[in-house]
């Protein structure tokens, strides 16, 4: 589902080797204001969905960490109404998928999940956080690469094409409000299985 085999290279080992600064889960809170700029300046509204992508470890301690994340998000659902589910894609990557019509709740929930992995010593297993937006039935994402400590835009179009003009526009408007990846080599496409679907579906 969604990811191509090169993801581990782009968001994983290669990105880690080329990292210019450490990833910081506090970066995720930048989306708390960026979503307003997306709507006001670009006409993209939140699509009520976000996700955290991570690579599994075959250990009982990691399983416990995942269970803790699940428990935290379940407790949070009572407070915020954010619904969470876990899924695995066809390439073996794990996803925490979050749905809520309040974008600030989505940001908070993604942060809680990421922070728990980091606190348990599994920050290196975090690959990306995705925040979904839509405009005229077209989806676009801000992707946060944990290995690079930066955001980049991704605007899928049709079957494995990208709307480059949209991505450049998002970069130009949000650069400064978000820490945007300047090297487009790391703007890795997270293809959905079907046009109009999310990468985690």
Question: DSSP letter string over 77-129?
Answer: HHHH--EEEEEE-TTSEEEEEEE-S-HHHHHHHHHHHHHHHHHTT-GGGEEEE
Given a cut of 70, whether residue 13 has pLDDT beyond it is no
Domain assignment of residue 176, yes or no: yes
Domain assignment of residue 41, yes or no: yes
The pLDDT value recorded for residue 1 is 42
- Number of domains comprising the chain: 1
The pLDDT value recorded for residue 73 is 94
CATH value at residue 54: 3.30.70
Over residues 90-144, the pLDDT tens digits come to: 778 899 999 999 999 999 999 999 999 999 999 889 999 999 999 998 999 999 9
Domain assignment of residue 194, yes or no: no
Domain assignment of residue 2, yes or no: no
Domain coverage including residue 99:
7-186
Domain assignment of residue 32, yes or no: yes
Domain assignment of residue 79, yes or no: yes
Give the model's confidence band at 14: pLDDT under 50 very low, under 70 low, under 90 confident, else very high.
Answer: low
Mean pLDDT over all residues of the chain? 88
Number of H helices, E strands in the chain: 6, 8
26 burial (CB, 10 Å; 0-12 / 13-18 / 19+) is exposed
Compare 52 and 2 and report the one with higher pLDDT.
52
Over residues 158-186, the pLDDT tens digits come to: 888 999 999 999 999 999 999 999 999 99
The pLDDT value recorded for residue 5 is 45
Give which of 146, 174, 110 is closest to 24, Cα–Cα: 146
């Amino acid at each position: 589902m969604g990811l191509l085999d090169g993801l581990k290279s782009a968001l994983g080992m290669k990105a880690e080797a080329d990292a210019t600064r450490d990833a910081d889960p506090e970066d995720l809170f930048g989306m708390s204001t960026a979503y307003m700029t997306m709507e006001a300046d670009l006409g993209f509204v939140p699509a009520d969905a976000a996700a955290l992508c991570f690579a599994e470890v075959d250990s009982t301690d990691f399983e416990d960490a995942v269970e803790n994340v699940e428990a935290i998000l379940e407790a949070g659902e009572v407070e915020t109404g954010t619904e969470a589910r876990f899924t695995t894609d066809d390439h073996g990557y794990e996803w925490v998928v979050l749905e809520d019509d309040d974008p600030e709740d989505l940001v908070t929930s993604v942060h809680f999940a990421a922070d728990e992995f980091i606190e348990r010593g599994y920050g290196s297993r975090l690959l990306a956080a995705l925040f979904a937006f839509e405009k005229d039935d077209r989806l676009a994402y801000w992707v946060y690469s944990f290995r690079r400590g930066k955001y980049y835009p991704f605007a899928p179009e049709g079957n494995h094409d990208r709307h480059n003009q949209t991505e450049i526009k998002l970069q130009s408007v949000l650069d400064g409000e978000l820490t945007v990846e300047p090297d487009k080599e790391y703007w890795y496409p997270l293809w959905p299985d079907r046009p109009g679907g999310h990468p985690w579906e």
